[in-house]
A and B are shown apart, each in its own frame.
Chain A
Amino acid sequence: MKSKRFASADKKVCVACGSCVLVCPKQAITVVKGCYANVDKDLCVGCGRCAGICPAGCISVKERGAGDEKEVV
C-alpha cells in the first residue's frame, strides 16, 4: 500500500546539492544529470526528511490522490 503523502521537488529552484538523496530512507531521490532532484513517487513514503534538510526549501510534501497537488507541509 502506498503512503498517503509524497515529496516533490521544484526543479527550477533545486540546486542539485544532493543532501535530500543522503537522508532519504527509501533511496527514492536521484539527482538527474546534475540538474535537479527527482523524487520517485512510487518509492516515496512521504516522511518529509528531505524537505527538512533541503537548503533551498524546494521540496514540499503533498497528499496523494485526486489532483496529487495539495500541499500539506
Chain B
Amino acid sequence: MKKKWYDYLWIYEIVYFSLGFFNILFAWLGMIDFLLPLCLAVFGGNKWFCNRLCGRGQLYTKLGSQMKCSRNKSTPKWMYSTWFRYGFLLFFLAMFGNMVFQTYLVGAGARSLREAIKLFWTFRIPWGWTYTAGTVPDWVAQYSFGFYSLMLTSLLLGFVVMGLYKPRTWCTFCPMGTMTQGICKLRAGKDKEE
C-alpha cells in the first residue's frame, strides 16, 4: 500500500521528545496529542488518531515489529481488562489534574518554579538546562516541565510493555485510547437510539 504523509508521524514523536532535551517549552506541542484525538472522537465519532495518526503507536510498531525489540508475547489479560483500563485512565487524569494544580500554584505565586521533571510520578530529575528563567511566565514553564514528565513517563511505560509483550501493548491501556473509545461508544449508542 502506498505510504501516506501520516505514516511518518513516528519521526515527529522522536523529534518531540528530542526537543524536550533542549528547550522544555516545546513540551506544549504535546497538547496536539491530547486535543486532536479528543476532537476527532467528540466531533467525528472515530479513533482515526489512534488508527492512523498516533506517532507513538507507529514508533512502538517500528521498534517492536520491524526492529524486533518486542518479545511479541501475549499481553496479560488484566492489562486490557475494563477495570484496569478505566482505573489507569482515572489515575492518569488525577495526576494530570495535580499537574494543572501545581501550575496554578506557580501562576498564583504560592509556589516557585521547579526546573525538574518527575518520572513515573516519583523520581525527580533536574532538567534546568532546558529553560532560561524569565523567558516566559513561570506557570507556562511549570506546565511544560509537568507535561513533559507525563509524556516521557508514558512513553517509557510503553517501551517496557512493548519489550515484554506485543509492540502496541501500551495501546490497550493508553488513557487517550480508553477515553476516545469510551466517547465513541457513547456516541455510537446515541446514534442507535435515534
Contacts and interface: CB of A to CB of B under 8 A. Distances in A.
Interface of A: 13, 15-19, 21-22, 27, 31-35, 52-57
A56 B172 contact: yes
Contact of B187 (A17, A27, A33): A33
16 contacts: A16-B50, A18-B47, A31-B51, A32-B188, A34-B45, A34-B46, A34-B47, A34-B181, A35-B185, A52-B72, A53-B167, A54-B166, A55-B165, A55-B167, A55-B171, A55-B172
A17 B171 contact: yes
A33 B184 contact: yes
Contact of A19 (B72, B85, B171): B171
Interface of B: 1, 41, 45-48, 50-52, 57, 61, 65, 72, 74-75, 80, 85, 165-172, 174, 177-178, 180-181, 183-185, 187-188, 191
A63 B60 CA distance: 31
Given A17-B50, A34-B187, A55-B172, 7 more contacts: A17-B51, A17-B171, A18-B47, A19-B57, A31-B47, A34-B184, A56-B172
A53 B47 contact: no
Nearest to A12: B82
Contact of A53 (B1, B50, B85, B168): B168
Interface core residue of A15, A32, A34, A56 (most chain B CB under 10 Å): A34
B168 A55 contact: yes
